[in-house]
Structure 1
Amino acid sequence: MSNKNISITLTTNKKQKPDVNNLVFGKVFTDHMFVMDYSSDKGWHDARITPYQPITIEPSAMIFHYGQTVFEGLKAYFSEDGKVLLFRPEKNMQRLNQSNDRLCIPAIDEELALEALKELINIDREWVPQAEGTSLYVRPFIISTEPTLGVHPANNYKFMIIMSPVGSYYKEGIHPVKIAVENKYVRAVAGGTGQAKTAGNYASSLKAQEVAEEKGYSQVLWLDGVERKYIEEVGSMNIFFKINGEVVTPELNGSILAGITRDSIIHLLKHWNVPVVEKRISIDEIFQAYKDGQLEEVFGTGTAAVISPVGELFWNNERIIVNGGQTGELSMKLYNTLTGIQLGKESDPFGWVVEVEQKVEHK
């Protein structure tokens, strides 16, 4: 079987599906995966869907030594009328290529990657969970595989897509989280890899996250790496502040990841005629806005949670409680609207939702 130069080998040993009411993020994977190889002499080639299985790679493969890798994350949703929907998947493939460029990884064919993604989801369609709040998490990624210890861009790569059914990010509804502002460690600086979605960014964030959790905080708020005063991201999400009726988010500056949920939130706010601005904003301004009684809401945005309200900020031994520690009205409206669009329950004025059309041969 083949589709647009993608060869397909179906498993003869399907796995048991997990209990949709007890899904754990990223622990169980579907029956199949997509793989495509790259070599400097052949380019990207041998696009294939195979049974999910371990890969064989040499100990000298450059990914283990120099970290040349990028990844993406998106979700497939099961709608009330039985459709499987993706949310702005073309943006993920565009961003993957932007990350590729920063890490000196050859660009992928975005159209082929999207076709492969749809084909893979269609084959493993029965893995898309149907319970409320659940989805199929999709992880495209690229690793360098050349077995060489010299420091240079690799000549060989693998592009893969794996998928995992996941539960609701919020087990008991959407609740505000407590955030510690990070003063010691730095996530990224302009000119670094902050705007790329690469593994090293996440590895370097773990220590600060660990320290914050020990103090009872869910995540850290990163400040810029030069002046250590301007707000960048919260945890692995983008961040928004509602101050005196206006929504403010840090402008993309070369060290902040251009979140697809972030972009979607900005579009929605403008669509609702809610004042929204992207600009450089300092942590001092946020705490001053609180003292002036103007800090109305704070929330993070990302693929996993969509909207994550912030109920508390801790910085320089000073603690502030945002909106009485409750989820704000705008945060809730954004969450309900965006998840409604993703699930096909709400109108989609922007054409964001893409249906994965069912194909008879893969039923």
Structure 2
Amino acid sequence: MEQHLDIHIERREAKKTKPAQDQLGFGIHFTDHMFMMDYTTEIGWHHARIVPYQPLVMDPAAKVFHYGQTVFEGLKAYKTEDRRILLFRPQKNMQRLNRSNERLSIPLINESFALDALKQLISIDQEWIPSGSGTSLYIRPFVIATQPELIASPSSHFQFIIIMSPVGPYYAEGLNPVKIFVESTSVRAVIGGMGEAKTAANYAASLMAQEDAKHNGYAQVLWLDGVHHKYIEEVGSMNVFFKIKGIVYTPALKGSILDGITRDSILQLLQHWNIPVVSGDISIQKVYEASREGTLEEAFGTGTAAVISPIGELHWHGQNLVIQNGQTGELSNKLYQTLTGIQNGSDPDLFHWMTEVNMR
């Protein structure tokens, strides 16, 4: 594969207008350039290139449209006060991308090359990285099946693409607690399915419930297990944690939820602070009972997009559960301040999580 890994660069002549930092939104505006690379079974991965951001031209019979053979990742680049550019644990994203690739019969990528390509893309579009509080450059690598054939079998042609978007906070609430609807009827994933893969189908399966939740005033959906409909799994875009009587509980990785990189980072921070953590089955009933007993101290979600999102209210079977009086908990705030401090370079990188992008 290595003989095909030279990157051709074609720069955009007329640069796009950058949005004001208070009008970024999330995933709305995109940088001047994108990375692309092709795959065929005869050649392998080849034709790596950085080109102006542009629409894709694809055959209507491309398998991605009909059989959903696609995976993606999400990570961020941050600009420090001294103008350095940092990536948060990007190697973990490339490793997870390949795990998703394997699950969906997509050829593996060269992880070190993909990271180098990303760094080159960031270097070219570095002026797009915002520097305001809570802002970053969101990065979306993804792979799509492009073989024009309607036989239901793995594709023999793929494209690996990276696009980037300057973003503000994922939730309009920022670090303020969000309201979550507990879904106990629909099922998103089960053990043995694709819940642990970062693939479009997992998110498509959650959209109807998410729309219903938003219609009723809730920011997201909390999914329960697909067999018993009682054990907590994850929120649509976040892993979840509950602090009960000084112990932090989070669902275990069993194959039906995403192995979150922010989740793993939070677990390391909690261990570093000597806060006890239990990773295992936790029922929604236990959370409600802890609330009634006054031992549910706080709850929060974790993910690349929101980093830390305190949960201020749950709604399950007509029962509203208000957590921490609807306020951000002490631990949630500490985790957010610590993690974002490491990411933006203002706090020491005790765990060697950050990778600096050398400007060319």
TM-score category (smaller protein): over 0.9
When the two structures are superposed, what TM-score results if normalisation uses the length of structure 2?
0.97
Match of 2:129 in 1: 128
Match of 2:27 in 1: 26
Local SS of the residue matching 2:151: coil
Report the CA distance between 1:4 and its aligned residue.
5.9
Match of 1:316 in 2: 317
Report the CA distance between 1:86 and its aligned residue.
0.4
Report the CA distance between 1:340 and its aligned residue.
0.3
Match of 1:264 in 2: 265
Match of 1:294 in 2: 295
Report the CA distance between 1:173 and its aligned residue.
4.6
Instruction: State the distance in 2 between where 1:312 and 1:225 align.
Output: 23
Instruction: State the distance in 2 between where 1:130 and 1:22 align.
Output: 13
Instruction: State the distance in 2 between where 1:4 and 1:20 align.
Output: 35
Letter in 1 for 2:347: E
When the two structures are superposed, what TM-score results if normalisation uses the length of structure 1?
0.96
Instruction: State the distance in 2 between where 1:173 and 1:113 align.
Output: 31
Report the CA distance between 1:248 and its aligned residue.
0.6
Pair 1:13 & 2:7 matched: no
Report the CA distance between 1:77 and its aligned residue.
0.5
Instruction: State the distance in 2 between where 1:279 and 1:345 align.
Output: 34
Compared CA separation, residues 173 and 198, structure 1 to 2 (3 A): closer
Report the CA distance between 1:171 and its aligned residue.
5.1
Pair 1:175 & 2:183 matched: no
Instruction: State the distance in 1 between where 2:84 and 2:173 align.
Output: 26
Pair 1:349 & 2:350 matched: yes
Instruction: State the distance in 1 between where 2:92 and 2:174 align.
Output: 28
Within-5 A mapping of 1:228-247: 228-247=229-248
Instruction: State the distance in 1 between where 2:179 and 2:128 align.
Output: 34
Report the CA distance between 1:8 and its aligned residue.
1.1
Instruction: State the distance in 1 between where 2:239 and 2:54 align.
Output: 34
Match of 2:277 in 1: 276
Instruction: State the distance in 2 between where 1:72 and 1:176 align.
Output: 25
Match of 1:61 in 2: 62
Instruction: State the distance in 2 between where 1:130 and 1:342 align.
Output: 12
Give yes or no for contact 2:5–2:48 (8 Å, CA) kept in 1. Answer: no
Match of 2:36 in 1: 35
Instruction: State the distance in 1 between where 2:6 and 2:283 align.
Output: 50
Match of 2:98 in 1: 97
Pair 1:111 & 2:109 matched: no
Local SS of the residue matching 1:96: helix
Instruction: State the distance in 1 between where 2:126 and 2:64 align.
Output: 31
Letter in 2 for 1:331: S
Match of 2:166 in 1: 165
Letter in 2 for 1:24: G
Letter in 1 for 2:165: S
Instruction: State the distance in 2 between where 1:157 and 1:4 align.
Output: 16
Instruction: State the distance in 2 between where 1:178 and 1:172 align.
Output: 10
Query: Which runs of 5 or more residues in structure 1 are unaligned?
Result: none
- Cα-to-partner distance string for 1:182-220 (whole Å, 9 max, x where unaligned): 011111001111000000111110000111112211111
Instruction: State the distance in 2 between where 1:131 and 1:6 align.
Output: 32
Report the CA distance between 1:23 and its aligned residue.
0.7
Instruction: State the distance in 2 between where 1:175 and 1:154 align.
Output: 44
Letter in 1 for 2:326: G
- Cα-to-partner distance string for 1:252-303 (whole Å, 9 max, x where unaligned): 0110100000000000000111111211111111111111111000000011
- Cα-to-partner distance string for 1:35-71 (whole Å, 9 max, x where unaligned): 0000010011111111111121100000000000000
Letter in 1 for 2:255: G
Letter in 2 for 1:207: M
Letter in 1 for 2:24: L
Letter in 2 for 1:338: L
Q: Which runs of 4+ in 1 moved over 2 A?
A: 168-173
Compared CA separation, residues 173 and 194, structure 1 to 2 (3 A): closer
Instruction: State the distance in 2 between where 1:78 and 1:179 align.
Output: 32
Report the CA distance between 1:168 and its aligned residue.
2.7
Mean CA deviation greater in 116-125 or 178-187: 178-187
